[in-house]
Amino acid sequence: MPEARIRAITFPIALEGGITAVAYEEQIQEAIQTANEIFGRHRIARRPPIRFTLSSIWHNTDINSQSLLTRNIFEYAQREGVSFHSAYRLMRSSVNPINRQRYGWSGPWNYGGFTVEILQEMEDPDGVSYLPVSSEALSILSLDQVPGEIATYWVPGLSGGEHGITYYTPKFRDISSNNEGIFISYRTQADILAHELGHLLMRAGHCSFEGDDGDQENSAPPTNLMHKYNAARQQNGPGRSLTGGQIDRMLSKGQAYLR
């Protein structure tokens, strides 16, 4: 049975009843159990199921967490030409409604500003489109990397209210095989890790790898784990199925992480 080892790096925030190491550990254990349930049930045409084990958890200090997770505020302020405090207020105001809607949090503090920024597609001087990575995310991706193990970073939030993102080569500029990793937002659904593991092992987006158009982006149906939208997956079962082509792709392309 192919097995992948997962390293978990967390960012506890001790402000106003913030996230604790114990809370992260509970989410990590549930997410890995869910991933094993999803991947373990698909013994498709004698293909072996993939199993995930937790190799270690490293909890950052509160000071280190705050320093890393607010770097995006400085980047935003520089790009927009505003002061740090103005950028901080803008980011909190844009993040708070998302957090309140998703989690029902109340009170003056719900980690607004303590989010990892996901940069949108850009064009280089030659007009070539690419996906950049914020310097904050790159700093985090340099933490506690071990060859052959999947680095997962459990953060208070991701910009735009995203649940998770996987940085892998060759999709993202500035990412190499030495700094790939998965970011998971705190208190998101338990199957988000499994979805992101699918991206990393397939080295592909939301593809079904089944049928004539299976290698096309967004070909995964709503009942499939790799469908693009989490809400659609939740409304369809929830969508946790995998295709034989997806399993074959993971076993082939994910060999760097499988043993």
Residue pLDDT, tens place only, 149-194: 999 999 988 877 789 999 999 999 899 999 999 999 988 899 999 9
pLDDT of residue 108: 38
258 domain residue, yes or no: no
40 domain residue, yes or no: yes
Instruction: Supply the CATH number for residue 213's domain.
Output: 3.40.390
Number of structural domains found in the chain: 1
184 domain residue, yes or no: yes
Residue pLDDT, tens place only, 36-77: 999 987 666 567 789 999 999 999 998 888 888 877 778 778
| pLDDT above 90 as % of the chain | 50
CA-angle at 1, arms to 202 and 185, nearest 5°: 45
259 domain residue, yes or no: no
Residue pLDDT, tens place only, 110-120: 455 577 888 88
Does this model's pTM top 0.85? My answer is yes
Pairwise CA distance, residues 48 & 170, whole Å: 27
Pairwise CA distance, residues 141 & 153, whole Å: 8
| Residues with Cβ within 8 Å of residue 126, at least 6 apart in sequence | none
Give the domain extent around 149: 3-253
In this model, does residue 128 exceed pLDDT 80?
A: yes
